[in-house]
Structure 1
């Protein structure tokens, strides 16, 4: 499996996809710094998990798919005596690494901002918040890889960002929030960081501050990631017959 991961990572050497690991979190930090300095940390988190992270995952997933599709529509891979299962899993794992690095860069920028902004977020809460954002977004990677094969880059980005923004924000405050995967992260940020889905701070006594959403969101996210990984891997293996 290690050789598959190494090969997948080498495909992106000196590519724009690698640059996005740094560019997307930096763009998020610069925008929040210049547009809302006093709420720099709060908005950096909120903009990241509501808009930037879903869009980023959609983009790198689509670019990963296009990397193979340009090589005669995956026929270069399908003709090789390799495990299609391992190739697909390696693609997912490689993008997970890229997402983790981007989250880490953003977290460092947010923590550095604590020295300049009023009422900085506690270190532990900020680290926990970013860890949860990362963990509860993993399911989007196999989903977007599959979506890219079906709809292309534009369709993947539009569906991912629109669903994340509209459905996520709309349902995160409802009792049925657990039915919408895009709401899970937003719901958990209230008890962890005190940030409501609309980006405002939660007031004392707000029902969304109930921490019971955290274990529910984590469990659902892990389960959905596993199910999507298994389902999309099985689907990709069948491409060999085409």
Structure 2
């Protein structure tokens, strides 16, 4: 499996996809910095309520384009290799890239701490960055499937649009657990103490109940595993055109 991962990583050498790893969190930090003393919570909010979804969508599209535009996947589908492992390695490489971006964001948020008065405890910053990764992984196989089927426009519209419509409708309700697009936003409330809108959660608010954290983690891992299995089996049946 390691060779598959190495091969996938090499495909993106010198591409804009690699540059996005750094660009996406830096843009987020710049947006967050525009709010002055609220740079830490606003950087988090910009990241998990908008920029991360667009970033994951673009990664999936670019990953697909590397194979699709040059040889329409014939370089992969015509080889005596495991197509399941190829797909899984693509998903995992995108997951690694996303993790690196979250870590860059984390470093930026930590560095901003000494410069402002309204700081988030360091442990909560680390926990928030890690949980964003875990609860967003399921989007990667989904977006990669959408990218191959619908291209860039369809992928972005569905992934980002679902966040705005479905996520916003459910995140602050008792039915938040039904919609995957609300999971990250909901568990960030007790972790950071701020609402997805950027406002500080009131003391005693049910939105600060930490019980949502293990529920969100478990649901995210289950959905990621299911989407990985379903999309890997689908990719295994692909044929070169």
Show the counterpart of 2:147: 148
Show the counterpart of 2:174: 175
How do 1:1-242 residues align onto structure 2 when only pairs under 5 Å count?
1-33=1-33, 35-240=34-239
Does the residue aligned with 2:71 lie in a helix, a strand or coil?
coil
1:23-76: CA deviations, max 9, x gaps? 01001101221x211210010001100101111000011100111101331122
Q: Residue 173 of structure 1 contacts residue 197 of structure 1 at CA under 8 Å; is this kept in 2?
A: no
Q: Residue 139 of structure 1 contacts residue 224 of structure 1 at CA under 8 Å; is this kept in 2?
A: yes
1:129-173: CA deviations, max 9, x gaps? 111111000000000000101110121112111111232122101
- Per the TM alignment, residue 197 of structure 1 is displaced from its structure 2 partner at its CA by 2.2
- Per the TM alignment, residue 241 of structure 1 is displaced from its structure 2 partner at its CA by 7.7
Greater than 4 Å deviation, 4+ residue runs: none
Q: RMSD over aligned Cα, in angstroms? A: 1.1
1:156-213: CA deviations, max 9, x gaps? 1121111112321221011110000010011101111011122211001111111110
Does the residue aligned with 1:71 lie in a helix, a strand or coil?
helix
Query: What is the TM-score with the length of structure 1 in the denominator?
Result: 0.97
Aligned-partner Cα distance in 2 for 1:117–1:169:
29
Aligned-partner Cα distance in 2 for 1:56–1:87:
22
Q: Mean Cα displacement is larger for which, 73-82 or 5-14?
A: 73-82
Query: What are structure 2's unaligned runs of at least 5 residues?
Result: none
Query: What is the TM-score with the length of structure 2 in the denominator?
Result: 0.97
Q: Residue 78 of structure 1 contacts residue 84 of structure 1 at CA under 8 Å; is this kept in 2?
A: yes
Aligned-partner Cα distance in 2 for 1:54–1:165:
10
